[in-house]
Amino acid sequence: MNNAYLHYELQHFLSTTPTDLILLHHRPPISDGLFCVAFYLLAPLPAITTAIDFIPKSKWFSGALRYMISYTGGSLDISTLEADPILFSASHTLYVSHNPFYNHNQNHNSRNASLQKYLPLDLLANCPYCRDGEAEVVVRGRWLGAKRGGLHGVSTGDLFPDPYVDCNGHVFEGVYKNFPPFSHYSSGNSTHPLVLEKSLDKLIFDAISALHNFSYLVNDRLHVLAYDPYFYHCLPRHQLCHLQMYEPKDGLWGFESSPGNYTGVVGEVQHRLYDFSVSLTITYDRGQEIDFTIDYYPLPLCFVTSKPKQLPQYLAVIRPFRGWVWAGVGVMLGVGGVTLWMLEGVAATHKPMTLQKALFVTFASLLTQSRQWPQYGIVRIYLSFWLVFCLVATVSYFGNLTAFLTVPAFTSTIDSLQELVRSDFSWGVNDYGAADYQLLLSSKEPLYQEIFRGISFCPSLLDCIQRTLDERYAFISFKTYVRDAIATHFTDRNGDTQVYMAKESFFPAGVGIGMQKGSPFRHVFDKELRKLLEGGFPIKWVTDLIQEHALEGRRMAAANDGGSVSEGNGQLTFTLYHLQGVFMVTGTGLLLSAFVFGLELILYKMI
Query: What is the residue range of 445's domain?
Result: 304-308+410-508+536-561
Task: Tell whether 424 and 548 lie within a shared domain.
Answer: yes
pLDDT of residue 563 exceeding 70, the answer is no
Q: Residue count of the chain, please give it.
A: 607
Q: How far apart are CA 507 and CA 467, in angstroms?
A: 23
pLDDT at res. 21: 57
End-to-end CA distance of the chain: 109
Residue 234 DSSP label: H
pLDDT at res. 24: 53
Which of 406, 422, 455 corresponds to the end of one domain? 406
Is residue 382 assigned to a domain? yes
Q: Kindly report the three-state secondary structure assignment for every residue of 181-224.
A: CCECEEECCCCCCCEECCCHHHHHHHHHHCCCCEEEEECCEEEE
- pLDDT-derived band at 90, boundaries 50, 70, 90: confident
Task: Tell whether 259 and 387 lie within a shared domain.
Answer: no
Task: Tell whether 271 and 145 lie within a shared domain.
Answer: no
Task: Tell whether 419 and 396 lie within a shared domain.
Answer: no
pLDDT at res. 101: 60
pLDDT of residue 107 exceeding 70, the answer is no
| Domains identified in the chain, total number | 5
pLDDT at res. 249: 93
Task: Tell whether 93 and 228 lie within a shared domain.
Answer: no
DSSP H helices, 407-445, are: 417-422, 435-442
Per mean pLDDT, which range of 114-118, 152-156, 512-516, 517-521 is the poorest?
114-118
Task: Tell whether 414 and 556 lie within a shared domain.
Answer: yes
pTM: 0.70
Kindly report the CA angle at 407 between 406 and 410, in degrees rounded to 5? 140
Is residue 69 assigned to a domain? yes
> For the purposes of burial, counting CB atoms within 10 Å of the CB of 530, is it exposed (0-12), middle (13-18) or buried (19 or more)?
middle
pLDDT of residue 221 exceeding 60, the answer is no
pLDDT of residue 91 exceeding 90, the answer is no
Is residue 159 assigned to a domain? no
Residue 109 DSSP label: S
Backbone angles phi, psi at 257, to 5 degrees: -75, -30
- pLDDT-derived band at 559, boundaries 50, 70, 90: confident
Backbone angles phi, psi at 159, to 5 degrees: -70, -30
The DSSP line for 288-355 is TTSEE----EE--EEEEEEPPPBPPGGGGGTTTS-HHHHHHHHHHHHHHHHHHHHHHHHH-SSSPPPH
- pLDDT-derived band at 236, boundaries 50, 70, 90: very low
Give per-residue pLDDT as tens, 246-287.
Answer: 999 999 999 888 888 999 999 999 998 999 999 999 998 999
Which of 406, 428, 445 corresponds to the end of one domain? 406
DSSP H helices, 435-536, are: 435-442, 446-453, 461-470, 479-489, 522-534
At 493 the three-state DSSP class reads coil
* Average of per-residue pLDDT across 134-146: 78
> For the purposes of burial, counting CB atoms within 10 Å of the CB of 23, is it exposed (0-12), middle (13-18) or buried (19 or more)?
middle
Closest CA to 538 of 174, 227, 279, 283: 279
Is residue 164 assigned to a domain? no
pLDDT of residue 113 exceeding 50, the answer is no
Per mean pLDDT, which range of 134-143, 324-333, 500-509 is the poorest?
134-143
Percent of the chain beyond pLDDT 90?
31
* Average of per-residue pLDDT across 367-376: 78
* Average of per-residue pLDDT across 573-599: 75
Is residue 414 assigned to a domain? yes
pLDDT of residue 153 exceeding 70, the answer is no
pLDDT at res. 34: 62
